[in-house]
Amino acid sequence: MPLPTNILVLGLGELGTAILNSLSTRAPHTTKLTVTLRPQTISSPSASKKAEIESLRAQGISILAADISTLSLTSLTELFKPFDLIISALGFASGPGSQVKITRAVLDAKVPWYIPWQFGVDYDIVGRGSAQPVWDEQLDVRDLIRDPGQKDTEWTIISTGMFTSFLFEESFGVVLSDDGEVLVRALGGEENRVTVTSPGDIGRAVAEVVFDGDERRYRNQVVYTAGDTISYGRLAKTLEEVTGRTVRREPRSVEVLREELEENPEDVLRRYRVVFAEGKGVSWDKERSFNVQRGMEMQDARGWLKENLEKKGLGGK
């Protein structure tokens, strides 16, 4: 199968932007890149939005006005028909059911190749019924694309672990800094591990897969990336080494985190803490990752910390 010549990227958030930038750098002149933007974004008077749109056009990226969340399945199917590769960078913020709707439209449109929004954990291993119910929809997507009766659309799932930056978000509750003290809450214990990849590196991996040139090398399979696979104990040690501060460790058992979730079952972040504490499907060995096998250097947790210390209030003594 030849390289795709008409690629549509859904969404222009942090990941969509990274994917487009990498595609645009790698794409041959015969490949057309298009991104969906909501009509209100295109017509926004915001100077930053206007600059963003001008930058896209300067790179030769076309803009397709479409609000994926409000379009019907039929309209979405028609929208998708001209493209030979669709990459979804619309995450969970696009609303419940959106991943399934997008996937059904891709399949109904008989798009030759599809990279769905699966830039996260290994949902096959996590399984259904986890503390994070939106992950069940990711399995619904996998069921649709893997259906034996589905012969028209090839697919590639790219599992990346969590965004590296999210590991250090105070709201996530793992790395906390207050009055000069740094605390690492080890979800499920200090030996528990998590795989992380930065959006920029995910974008590079997507472009590497798309423009590999080896027919079907990555079709109908899961590709794993890993900027780092790190235990919470090693995370604490890395923080000490990079910041020069003493880092306090506080193990958080699955049982405790489940009790906290029961107090507020709708708290999305508490749901995340439980599933990452359970440690099922949220990490894999970096050595077997796509990027290591391809010799691609990616940013690890230490590199991210060095780059973002001051921004996160984690500067040295």
What CATH number is given to the structural domain containing 187? 3.90.25.10
Task: Name the CA radius of gyration of the chain, rounded.
Answer: 20
Q: Note whether 176 and 157 are same-domain residues.
A: no
pLDDT at residue 3 in the model: 86
pLDDT at residue 1 in the model: 64
pLDDT at residue 118 in the model: 97
213, 216, 217, 218: CA torsion to nearest 10: 110
Given the structure tokens 């079952």, which residue do they identify? 265
Q: Note whether 207 and 239 are same-domain residues.
A: no
Residue 291, in any domain of the structure: no
Nearest to 115 by CA among 12, 21, 19: 19
Q: Note whether 65 and 114 are same-domain residues.
A: yes
Nearest to 163 by CA among 9, 7, 13: 13
pLDDT at residue 92 in the model: 83
Q: Note whether 250 and 115 are same-domain residues.
A: no
DSSP 253-285: -HHHHHHHHHHSTT-HHHHHHHHHHHTSSS---
- 139 has a pLDDT exceeding 80: yes
pLDDT tens per residue across span 153-195:
999 999 999 999 999 999 999 999 877 789 999 999 999 999 9
Q: Note whether 250 and 111 are same-domain residues.
A: no
- 302 has a pLDDT exceeding 70: yes
Looking at 224, 243, 274, which one is the last position of a domain? 224
Q: Note whether 277 and 232 are same-domain residues.
A: yes
Residue 287, in any domain of the structure: no
Residue 82, in any domain of the structure: yes
Number of compact structural domains in the chain: 2
Q: Note whether 134 and 21 are same-domain residues.
A: yes
Residue 314, in any domain of the structure: no
Residue 153, in any domain of the structure: yes
The amino acid at residue 164 is T
Higher pLDDT, 79 or 96: 79
Q: Note whether 87 and 127 are same-domain residues.
A: yes
Q: Note whether 175 and 212 are same-domain residues.
A: no
Residue 27, in any domain of the structure: yes
- Count of CB atoms situated within 10 Å of the CB of 140: 15
What are the phi and psi torsion angles at 216 (to 5°)?
60, 20
Q: Which CATH number goes with the domain that contains 145?
A: 3.40.50.720
Residue 1, in any domain of the structure: no
Residue partners of 1: CB distance under 8 A and separation at least 6: 112, 113, 154, 215, 216, 219
Q: For the chain, what percent of residues have pLDDT higher than 70?
A: 96
pLDDT at residue 294 in the model: 93
Residue 293, in any domain of the structure: no
Nearest to 272 by CA among 169, 139, 140: 169
Whole-prediction pTM value? 0.94
- The conformation of residue 84, written as its DSSP 8-state character, comes to S
CA–CA dist 269, 267 (Å, integer): 6
Domain assignment of residue 304, given as a range: 163-195+228-282+299-308
Q: Note whether 36 and 179 are same-domain residues.
A: no
Residue partners of 169: CB distance under 8 A and separation at least 6: none
Q: Note whether 170 and 91 are same-domain residues.
A: no
- 33 has a pLDDT exceeding 80: yes
pLDDT at residue 315 in the model: 61
Q: Note whether 184 and 119 are same-domain residues.
A: no
Beta bridge partners of 222: 157
